[in-house]
Amino acid sequence: MFKVIGYKSLLDLVQSVFALRIKLAMLHVYAVSFSFTTAIFIELDIGISKYIYSPSAGIWLLAIISVGDFALGIANSVINKGEPISWAKLNRSAIRFIVMTWFIAITYNLHLVSPVIVQKVFIEGLFVVFCLSIIYSSVENARDLNFITKEQFEMIESFVNPKKFLVRFFKKNKENENNNLD
């Protein structure tokens, strides 16, 4: 029965699940590495909440979509443009994320100092603009890699790109006015 799922026996499955084949010293290395990594993420989360933006999930979301855009951008430049991976291209995404985080941190701390002048809505609007710009870049790269079709790209672009949305909106209004005149 266990051979069907790739194990010799129940004992083999249990040893694999609980890492019993690994020497005890190696298990401690894995545990310390996991604990250290977890502690770093917890401290980063606390620091983000205190100094950059609260809730910190916003910055983590920005980081995750930045990493996704980074991966799609590198794939697009290597596959479609035939460009080698360069240090300058690697830095672009990181610098963009740092600058976006810096702007959010400045506005968030200004809000903490004077909530009347810098409203929370302004900070969240800035955050949304940053997220949409990264998503738009990701969608462009996905289109170039043929992950999405041209029609899907145009639909997403009409929502993400305000200029395209307004042009489409005013175009429909002019068509309605022309139909009413007929």
With contact defined as beta carbons under 8 Å apart, do 98 and 28 qualify? no
- What pLDDT does residue 182 have? 57
Between 1 and 157, whose confidence is greater?
Answer: 157
CA-to-CA dists, residue 78 to 7, 34, 81, 129, 150, angstroms: 39, 33, 6, 28, 21
| Alpha-carbon span 106 to 137, nearest angstrom | 24
Per-residue pLDDT, averaged over 44-56, amounts to 91
pTM of the model: 0.69
Domains of the chain, by residue range, sit at: 1-52, 56-177
